Chain A
């Protein structure tokens, strides 16, 4: 049987640089050929299906007392590693120790669940997908923890920052190779930040210029955008695991404020922290100044206390629905901005290749 773990072979950072250079030579554009990019995503998907099937086969054998635990867990690692590496790379948290720590903790959680399945004679239909969630939440927990430390310290990285479990500091680990790699990483980091800031600005413009009913747009801001933005610096958990929105947090945050106050608060926060030009559009303000028929009372929408009228279920529905609509509107804005479109295509197509090489792993 092919040993999946062996396909993740080490290469050095030079290969990453060569890859970058070769990508840049393609037709004078900085992104991969369209066909190659999609083909790669298709092949990745096929490979994952193949591994998932193999995992299922070994998992069923193990549940039936056929000893194959080590092999199975190696396969699960291989199945989850691309996503873990991509996510660690994306958030600037990649190093061997972080990866190792996630794998170890997730393995223990998976093992406990398998033992439980065994006792109860349960066989899960899609075990790889089930196991993937353990790896996913360990990864997100670790990134959250690192991000909080960084936020407390400011954006600058310290030479005294310990890297992983071996307690070595960044300063101690600096060598020529690492400096080379760091320079490359800084470039990637800069490009990623540029894409993220421009895209997020576009996303904010899209929801602030939407003609949607104002409480819907406010639901998106308070239940999805704000809790996520505060998740790193907030002492309490603003958003639960596996949830894209937190209507509960939004409800508490909104308190007894009127829609007009929420409009002003959200606008100020976005202007201070994101960009000066973010303000709710004329249509939004016009609707606020219209009378709304709330429980047979003729009242201006701006004077309505949001949480007195709209419940958590409504907020959650609206936040999710509005996010979809806003994503579409933001996408159209990017499509009409040729410079940003090129930047985004370059980032997306290169990213899908580059994260595979963060550790120096190359698929055969």
Chain B
């Protein structure tokens, strides 16, 4: 017998996956598969592909990849700006306090808010020297600003982001811009900046 055609291999794999009985012609083809290694290899692969692309096979894939509607829709957004955070500091004789909040949150990919434990204490404008904003969906993405020591730390988990190349920079009312040097370890991108020259500034987190 000649080798099975692509069409025959496709069909016989489909009916095998569906556990439909073979007719006489298909029985002959199966007999050929017993002896022909080339066709057998193709049959096995066709069978595995038929299983994977069956309704139940896709359910296995859906569970493996766990794709949600939100993620798929998120992918259709082409946002460059991930978040903009406004920092306003106030100096008193004894200390430096600060207010830190995300601006233009609508449309931003990151939603930075105070962690619940801190938020419950109403810390955004207290005398606390360290202020933290954390992404509501990912605690590994956050901004921490220590107003007393004038030190800023930004960490972003790029695991679920389409664009993994991130840039973070500060802008000041005087028009000056300072880039924060970032290091990447696995999916975590981190940057620290000390001695920020002006009291008030904006932190821009963007895709490159």
Contact status A230-B60, CB under 8 Å:
no
A316 to B52, CA, bound (A): 20
Which of B10, B67, B162 lies in contact with A327, CB distance below 8 A? B10
- Assess the B61–A228 pair: CB atoms within 8 A: yes
Are A48 and B48 within 8 A (Cβ)?
no
Q: Mark B41-59, 1 if CB is under 8 A from A, else 0.
A: 1101111111111011111
Q: What is the chain B residue whose CB lies nearest that of A333?
A: B45
A328 interface residue per 8 A CB criterion: yes
What is the CB-to-nearest-CB distance from B157 to chain A, in angstroms, rounded to a whole number? 14
Query: Judging by beta carbons under 8 Å apart, are B52 and A233 in contact?
Result: no
Known: A147-B59, A231-B59. A155 touches B66 (CB 8 A): yes
Q: Does A101 contact B (CB under 8 A)?
A: no
Q: Is A328 a contact partner of B67 (Cβ separation < 8 A)? A: no
B52 engages A199 (CB within 8 Å): yes
Dominant SS among interface residues on chain B: helix
Inter-chain contact B16/A151, CB cutoff 8 Å: no
A64 to B31, CA, bound (A): 40
Does A138 count as interface, using CB distance less than 8 angstroms? Answer: no
Residues of B within 8 Å of A46, CB to CB, are 21
Is there an interface contact between A348 and B44, defined as CB atoms closer than 8 Å? yes
Q: How many residues does chain B have at the interface if contact means C-beta atoms less than 8 Å apart?
A: 53
Q: Can you offer 23 A-B residue contacts whose CB atoms are under 8 A?
A: A34-B37, A38-B30, A38-B40, A39-B34, A42-B31, A45-B21, A45-B30, A52-B21, A147-B59, A151-B68, A196-B60, A196-B61, A200-B52, A228-B58, A229-B67, A233-B68, A264-B76, A272-B162, A327-B46, A327-B53, A334-B45, A335-B42, A341-B45
Q: Which of A38, A46, A48, A143 has the most CB of B within 10 A?
A: A38
CA distance A44 to B48 in the complex (A): 18
Quick check: A90 and B49 within 8 Å, CB to CB? no
Tell me, in angstroms, the Cα distance from A154 to B55 when the chains sit together: 21
Minimum C-beta distance from A342 to chain B (A): 10
CB distance from A106 to the nearest CB of B (A): 15
Partner of B45, one of A197, A244, A331: A331
19 more A-B contacts (CB under 8 A) besides A90-B51, A196-B61? A34-B40, A45-B30, A87-B56, A91-B56, A91-B60, A151-B68, A155-B66, A192-B60, A195-B48, A199-B48, A230-B68, A231-B59, A232-B59, A268-B75, A272-B74, A327-B49, A331-B46, A331-B49, A344-B48
